[in-house]
Structure 1
Amino acid sequence: MDDHTYEPRPGRVVPPAPNAVEVDPVYQLQTNLVATAYEICVGLDAYRDQYGAFPDSLTVEDDGRVSATDATLSAVVPAYVRISYVPNAPDGTAYLTVADTESGMAMSCVQSGEEGWITNS
């Protein structure tokens, strides 16, 4: 098994997340994490364009929508996913991690300057 393969526990079904394509069940969780991280990063870029900076924090609402103090991002986080967000790290970058609460599989993104978000899973 490579680093990007996840074998769901027996009986666990991971359906496609919003905006994620349906793939082989072995890869569905990874695909969902990638799609969720991408949607959040797009929302963060739109937020920065509108407000001039990234939000100080993100909250996942009861319905799964991601929100900041001034706005709701278009991203929806599946119930089994947790997010970690650091908008202003000491090195000037922003970090976002989207992880499965059961397995720990995660997708991380880093944003530095105007380069855009880069995955480093």
Structure 2
Amino acid sequence: MRALACKILVVLRLIPRPAFTARLVSGHPDPDTMADGQIYVVGGRGYSKWAYFRCPADREEIVQLSLMPERRPRWTVAVDWLGRPTINPSVRQLDGSYAHFWIRRGRVDWCADSGRGVRRV
């Protein structure tokens, strides 16, 4: 139902088309079957452990974020009534594509330093 509501709002041009939607799953997703544009939140009602998704800069890269409060670093994923995720803080790949971005209401907002290698000291 949420997906249909989102599609209608996009067609009516009331909201922009989201690059990502979120799905709650009970176990870790198989990387070979992960869909583009889908964030898999591993957990259950009232708790979240991990978030997995394909990197928007390089679909071959799988991003894995810890959502557990006792771990560092950690992120939060908030999902609105249309299934659009917001991730905080930003996501920064330190290898591979060196992508640096925010996901807000399902949209990708790129940071100015995205794609640049991280200088190691």
TM range (shorter): under 0.3
Give TM-score, length-normalised by structure 2. 0.28
Q: If each structure's helix is expressed as a fraction of its own residues, which one has the higher value?
A: 1
Q: If each structure's strand is expressed as a fraction of its own residues, which one has the higher value?
A: 2
